[in-house]
Structure 1
Amino acid sequence: MKPVVIQDMTIRFGGTTVLNDVSLSVASGECFGLVGESGSGKSTILRCASMLYKGWTGDVLIGGQSVRSMDPMERCRVLQMVFQDPYGSLHPRHSVRTVLAEPLRIHGIGEQEARMRQALIDVGLPVEFLDRYPHQLSGGQRQRVAIARALILEPDVLFLDEPTSALDVSVQAEILNLLQRLRDEKGFTYLMVSHDLAVIDHMCDRFAVMKTGDIVEVLPRDAILDGTAKAPYAQELIGASLTYEQAAM
């Protein structure tokens, strides 16, 4: 698997600076989290780094190679993204078979039936689901299909944009455990956006606290509970999250 390095990433929408010279590094095989309030720029980092947004400056290196210099086909083989909403990320008129076969067809990869079956097995779904449509699946099952679609090209890096926030609480743990198992088995590098520090604590080795387009502090996972954050905003964010969780118990 490959490391990810983001260098001086800046993007402006109109007169508003959304990201301001953001730099961070993610080790090969690491799960790195991005946390912060809504509008802090977390998801924008993923969309710039995956070239879904074009008008940004700086660079992103995956395994030492710039995403800007990669052919789009190559970039898709190296990097895949799982989006927040499993209801919106799958075409309602496309069967699971069509969803999984399309990237294989585009990239000219053979043994499609075997690969599609294995992709479903990898995410814990029966192979019979190949002929189902999104409306026949639960939210958790749809997100598993979205993960299978991301895995089927065997990428090195997965960007995870709040992959459980649209799901019921009972299903969230299943998807997080699935992502953890896949990382353990396949060695993926994860860059994960979440507003939930409990998710970060479960999944990530390190995380960055963001505020209005800047990285305030990069912390190890243990900082969530041991109070070692130094930046006042990071302390405030972690404290508020812990207080909320205790009140909800």
Structure 2
Amino acid sequence: MKPFEVENMSITFGKVTVLPAVSFQIEAGECFGLVGESGSGKSTVLRCASMLLNLWDGEARIGGKSVKDMPAMERCRTLQMVFQDPYGSLHPRHSIRTTLSEPLRIHGLDNQQQRMEQAMTDVGLPLSFLDRFPHQLSGGQRQRVAIARALILEPDVLFLDEPTSALDVSVQAEILNLLVRLRDEKGFTYIMVSHDLAVIDHMCDRFAVMKSGHIVEVLPRTAILDGSAKAPYAQELIAASLAYEGAA
């Protein structure tokens, strides 16, 4: 487990400043949520911090070390990401065995078969699925493979970019419970992007409300129900979410 912090992260696309200056800190082993409307900059924070976008200013540090200073191999061992779309994040012509073995081969890790079997066991998939292809799996099973791929290098920090939003409700619960269990067992530091405050309530210790690239307020999970949010936008977002949940 390692702490994670972002300091004055900013990025501009053309003439549009998407992130003016974002800062927050996460304790080692904490699950921290980023919530807000579409276009508020949540996923952009993850893409910058993971160096999928590299023309940004400011700092993102894991255990006090800047991700910009990490060689790519070290950064990939330290930080992994699970994407929103379980259908687009796996290569359609690669078997699950190939998908899981590739990072092990790149990083020169030993006991590859044992590591792959352990990763499959960790995410609750049968070992026979190693020889299947993505089109032979359901959406939930594909997302479990994506999580296994992220976990197989034993990272300290895991980015979760709406990992359940493309899944059926029943499957969402399975994946969220899986992530909670893995965090308890292995001690990851999580950052979770979500539109759904019910997901944040289930997963996160604290969360930041974002609007137009700014962090409006950082709140404990209890603020979803106890009305302790002070920023008007945070109050509106929580109230709208609770009203939607009540109507549903």
Q: Which TM-score applies when normalising by structure 1?
A: 0.99
Question: Following the alignment from structure 2 to structure 1, what is the Cα–Cα distance between the partners of residues 92 and 67?
Answer: 31
1:62: how far off?
A: 0.1
Task: Tell me how far 1:190 sits from its aligned partner.
Answer: 0.1
Distance (whole Å) between structure 2 residues aligned to residue 113 and residue 205 of structure 1: 35
Cα distance in 1 for partners of 2:168, 2:235 equals: 28
- TM-superposed CA distance for 1:154, in Å, is 0.4
Q: How many residues align?
A: 248
Distance 1:167 1:94 in 2: 22
- Once the two structures are superposed, what CA deviation does each residue of 1:41-84 show, in whole Å capped at 9, x if it has no partner? 00000000000001100000100000000000000000000000
CA drift at 1:188 = 0.2
Q: Which residue is 1:25 aligned to?
A: 25
Give the 5 Å matches for 1:114-125. 114-125=114-125
Q: Which residue of 1 aligns with 2:169?
A: 169
Q: Distance in 1 between matches of 2:220 and 2:112?
A: 41
Secondary structure of the residue aligned to 1:93 is: coil
Partner of 1:41: 41
Q: Equivalent residue for 2:5?
A: 5
Which position in structure 2 is the counterpart of 1:108? 108
1:192-225, Cα deviation, whole Å (9 max, x unpaired): 1000000000000000000000000000000000
Aligned counterpart, 2:157: 157
In structure 2, distance between residues paired with 1:227 and 1:14: 39
Look up the SS of the partner of 2:39 in the other structure.
coil
Q: Distance in 1 between the 2:112 and 2:6 partners? A: 34
Residue 179 (str. 1) matches residue 179 (str. 2): yes
Q: Find the counterpart in structure 2 of residue 235 from structure 1.
A: 235
Q: Which amino acid aligns with 2:59?
A: D
Aligned mates of 1:12, 1:40 — CA distance in 2 = 13
Aligned to 2:223: 223
Q: Deviations over 1:12-56 (max 9, x none)?
A: 111111001100001000000000000000000000000000110
Task: Trace 1:69-218 onto structure 2 (pairs within 5 A).
Answer: 69-218=69-218
CA–CA separation in structure 1 for the residues paired with 2:237 and 2:195:
10
Q: Which residue identity is paired with 1:84? A: Q
Residue identity opposite 1:52 in structure 2: L
- CA distance, structure 2, for counterparts of residue 14 and residue 244 of structure 1: 36
Normalising by structure 2, we get a TM-score of 1.00
Provide the C-alpha distance between the structure 1 equivalents of 2:54 and 2:189, rounded to a whole number of angstroms. Answer: 23
Unmatched runs of 5 consecutive residues or more in structure 1: none
Runs of 4+ in 1 over 2 A off after TM superposition: none
Distance 1:130 1:209 in 2: 39
The Cα shift of 1:9 comes to 0.2
Aligned twin of 1:56: 56
Secondary structure of 1:239's counterpart equals helix
SS at match of 1:124: coil
Root-mean-square deviation (CA), in Å? 0.3
CA distance in 2, matches of 1:231, 1:72: 39
Report Cα offsets for 1:137-166 as digits up to 9, x if no partner: 000000000000000000000000000000
Between the aligned partners of 1:2 and 1:189, the Cα distance in structure 2 is: 7
Mind listing any 5+ residue stretches in structure 2 that lack a counterpart?
none
Distance, in Å, in 2 between the alignment partners of 1:32 and 1:244 is: 23
